[in-house]
Amino acid sequence: MHCRLNLLLVCGILLASCAVTSAPTARSIVDRFTAAGLEAANPHRPPFADQGLFPRTFSDGLTFELPSLGKNVVDQARNGSVLVCITKPNCDTIYEYLDTYSGLIGPYYYQSHLGTVVVFLDNKLPKATAARYEQIVRALP
Protein backbone atom coordinates (compact mmCIF):
# COMPACT_ATOMS: atom_id res chain seq x y z
CA MET A 1 0.00 0.00 0.00
CA HIS A 2 2.83 2.37 0.91
CA CYS A 3 4.56 1.73 -2.47
CA ARG A 4 1.37 2.54 -4.40
CA LEU A 5 0.98 5.82 -2.55
CA ASN A 6 4.59 6.76 -3.32
CA LEU A 7 4.12 5.78 -6.96
CA LEU A 8 0.96 7.89 -7.21
CA LEU A 9 2.73 10.82 -5.59
CA VAL A 10 5.68 10.58 -8.00
CA CYS A 11 3.35 10.29 -11.01
CA GLY A 12 1.40 13.32 -9.83
CA ILE A 13 4.55 15.39 -9.48
CA LEU A 14 5.76 14.33 -12.92
CA LEU A 15 2.45 15.21 -14.53
CA ALA A 16 2.36 18.57 -12.80
CA SER A 17 5.87 19.39 -13.96
CA CYS A 18 4.91 18.58 -17.55
CA ALA A 19 2.02 21.03 -17.40
CA VAL A 20 4.20 23.92 -16.24
CA THR A 21 5.86 25.84 -19.04
CA SER A 22 8.72 28.15 -18.31
CA ALA A 23 8.41 31.79 -19.23
CA PRO A 24 10.31 32.81 -22.34
CA THR A 25 13.47 34.85 -22.07
CA ALA A 26 14.36 37.73 -24.35
CA ARG A 27 17.13 35.56 -25.80
CA SER A 28 14.78 32.63 -26.51
CA ILE A 29 12.42 34.99 -28.35
CA VAL A 30 15.25 36.45 -30.44
CA ASP A 31 16.25 32.86 -31.22
CA ARG A 32 12.67 32.14 -32.37
CA PHE A 33 12.85 35.09 -34.73
CA THR A 34 16.09 33.92 -36.29
CA ALA A 35 14.87 30.30 -36.48
CA ALA A 36 11.90 31.61 -38.49
CA GLY A 37 14.29 33.35 -40.91
CA LEU A 38 13.68 36.83 -39.49
CA GLU A 39 16.37 39.38 -38.73
CA ALA A 40 17.54 39.81 -35.15
CA ALA A 41 21.24 40.63 -35.43
CA ASN A 42 23.62 41.69 -32.68
CA PRO A 43 21.25 41.38 -29.68
CA HIS A 44 22.32 43.67 -26.85
CA ARG A 45 21.06 45.49 -23.77
CA PRO A 46 18.39 48.01 -24.76
CA PRO A 47 19.81 51.54 -24.84
CA PHE A 48 16.70 52.84 -23.06
CA ALA A 49 17.16 50.46 -20.12
CA ASP A 50 19.13 53.03 -18.14
CA GLN A 51 17.96 56.37 -19.46
CA GLY A 52 15.02 58.42 -20.63
CA LEU A 53 11.35 58.18 -19.81
CA PHE A 54 10.81 54.66 -21.09
CA PRO A 55 9.16 52.48 -18.38
CA ARG A 56 11.64 50.14 -16.76
CA THR A 57 9.05 47.61 -15.70
CA PHE A 58 10.62 44.78 -17.71
CA SER A 59 12.80 42.11 -16.11
CA ASP A 60 14.64 40.99 -19.26
CA GLY A 61 15.22 42.77 -22.53
CA LEU A 62 17.23 42.79 -25.73
CA THR A 63 17.45 45.18 -28.64
CA PHE A 64 18.43 43.69 -31.99
CA GLU A 65 19.42 45.16 -35.33
CA LEU A 66 17.53 44.90 -38.60
CA PRO A 67 20.46 45.15 -41.06
CA SER A 68 18.35 45.08 -44.22
CA LEU A 69 16.87 48.47 -43.24
CA GLY A 70 20.26 50.20 -43.16
CA LYS A 71 20.79 53.10 -40.76
CA ASN A 72 18.67 56.05 -39.72
CA VAL A 73 19.49 59.76 -40.09
CA VAL A 74 21.80 59.78 -37.05
CA ASP A 75 23.67 56.75 -38.40
CA GLN A 76 22.14 54.34 -35.91
CA ALA A 77 21.13 50.83 -36.88
CA ARG A 78 17.41 50.33 -37.30
CA ASN A 79 16.23 47.87 -34.72
CA GLY A 80 13.61 46.07 -32.70
CA SER A 81 13.34 45.22 -29.03
CA VAL A 82 12.04 42.32 -26.96
CA LEU A 83 10.98 43.00 -23.37
CA VAL A 84 9.89 40.33 -20.91
CA CYS A 85 8.01 41.22 -17.73
CA ILE A 86 7.31 39.25 -14.58
CA THR A 87 3.65 40.30 -14.64
CA LYS A 88 1.16 41.38 -17.28
CA PRO A 89 0.55 44.77 -15.60
CA ASN A 90 4.30 45.49 -15.93
CA CYS A 91 4.13 44.87 -19.68
CA ASP A 92 0.81 46.72 -19.94
CA THR A 93 2.67 49.83 -18.71
CA ILE A 94 5.18 49.46 -21.55
CA TYR A 95 2.50 48.74 -24.15
CA GLU A 96 0.52 51.81 -23.06
CA TYR A 97 3.67 53.94 -23.28
CA LEU A 98 4.31 52.69 -26.82
CA ASP A 99 0.67 53.29 -27.73
CA THR A 100 0.94 56.88 -26.48
CA TYR A 101 3.92 57.50 -28.79
CA SER A 102 2.76 55.35 -31.72
CA GLY A 103 2.78 58.43 -33.97
CA LEU A 104 6.52 58.73 -33.40
CA ILE A 105 7.60 55.11 -33.18
CA GLY A 106 5.21 53.62 -35.71
CA PRO A 107 2.65 50.86 -35.73
CA TYR A 108 4.75 47.78 -34.98
CA TYR A 109 4.47 46.94 -31.29
CA TYR A 110 2.94 43.74 -30.03
CA GLN A 111 2.09 42.04 -26.75
CA SER A 112 2.09 38.28 -26.21
CA HIS A 113 -1.07 36.24 -25.58
CA LEU A 114 -0.66 36.29 -21.78
CA GLY A 115 0.72 39.83 -21.83
CA THR A 116 4.19 39.25 -20.34
CA VAL A 117 6.17 39.99 -23.52
CA VAL A 118 6.25 43.19 -25.57
CA VAL A 119 8.08 43.48 -28.89
CA PHE A 120 8.43 46.64 -30.93
CA LEU A 121 10.01 47.06 -34.34
CA ASP A 122 11.33 49.89 -36.47
CA ASN A 123 8.60 51.63 -38.45
CA LYS A 124 10.54 51.20 -41.72
CA LEU A 125 10.03 47.44 -41.62
CA PRO A 126 7.74 46.24 -44.43
CA LYS A 127 4.24 45.48 -43.15
CA ALA A 128 4.36 41.84 -44.31
CA THR A 129 7.64 41.27 -42.45
CA ALA A 130 6.32 42.92 -39.29
CA ALA A 131 3.32 40.57 -39.47
CA ARG A 132 5.70 37.58 -39.32
CA TYR A 133 7.25 38.91 -36.10
CA GLU A 134 3.77 39.57 -34.75
CA GLN A 135 2.70 36.00 -35.44
CA ILE A 136 5.58 34.68 -33.31
CA VAL A 137 4.87 37.15 -30.50
CA ARG A 138 1.14 36.34 -30.40
CA ALA A 139 1.98 32.62 -30.11
CA LEU A 140 4.16 33.18 -27.02
CA PRO A 141 2.80 32.32 -23.59
- The answer as to whether 98 is a domain residue is yes
Task: Tell me the pLDDT band of 63, cut-offs 50, 70 and 90.
Answer: very high
- The answer as to whether 106 is a domain residue is yes
Could you give the percent of the chain with pLDDT greater than 70? 85
How far apart CA 11 and CA 97 sit, in angstroms, is 45
- The answer as to whether 13 is a domain residue is no
Q: Look at the chain and report how many structural domains it folds into.
A: 1
- The answer as to whether 11 is a domain residue is no
- Is pLDDT at 3 greater than 50 in this prediction? no
Range of the domain at 121: 22-139
The whole-number average pLDDT for the span 49-77 is: 90
> Under a CB-based contact definition with an 8 Å cutoff, are residues 111 and 52 in contact?
no
- The answer as to whether 2 is a domain residue is no
Task: Tell me the pLDDT band of 77, cut-offs 50, 70 and 90.
Answer: confident
- The answer as to whether 5 is a domain residue is no
How far apart CA 119 and CA 98 sit, in angstroms, is 10
